[in-house]
């Protein structure tokens, strides 16, 4: 007597759900900072290129915010106190 070949129905491949792309709400803003800080951004962008990971200015600023957020209160206070004070607001128009 011959065994009947059982035809197992193939199980469907596991479906890997891709994470839903969450749309991030963006906010445009402008601010003033000393030229020295803009030069810091340029140097950091250059370092990122050297690391084969180009970065936009906004990425560097966001990374800086995330780094500051990880500081304890004492560390944040030290960093904030080390900043040069600047006059806020838009410069007056020259006629």
pLDDT, tens digit, 9 for 90 and up, residues 73-93: 999 999 999 998 888 777 677
Number of H helices and E strands in the chain, helices first, is 3, 0
Q: What is the pTM of this model?
A: 0.67
- Tokens found for residue 20: 């839903």
Closest CA to 29 of 52, 66, 57: 57
Token pair for residue 80? 């904030």
Q: What is the pLDDT of residues 16-63, one digit of tens each?
A: 667 778 898 999 988 888 999 999 999 999 999 999 999 999 999 999
What confidence score (pLDDT) does residue 21 get?
Answer: 82
Q: Which helix (H) or strand (E) holds 62?
A: helix 57-69
């Amino acid at each position: 007597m011959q065994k009947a070949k059982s035809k197992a129905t193939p199980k469907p491949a596991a479906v890997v759900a891709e994470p839903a792309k969450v749309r991030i709400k963006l906010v445009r803003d402008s601010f003033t900072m000393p030229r020295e800080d803009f030069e810091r951004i340029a140097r950091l962008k250059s370092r990122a290129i050297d690391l084969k990971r180009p970065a936009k200015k906004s990425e560097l600023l966001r990374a800086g915010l995330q780094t500051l957020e990880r500081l304890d209160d004492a560390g944040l206070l030290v960093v904030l106190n080390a900043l040069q004070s600047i006059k806020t607001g838009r410069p007056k128009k020259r006629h």
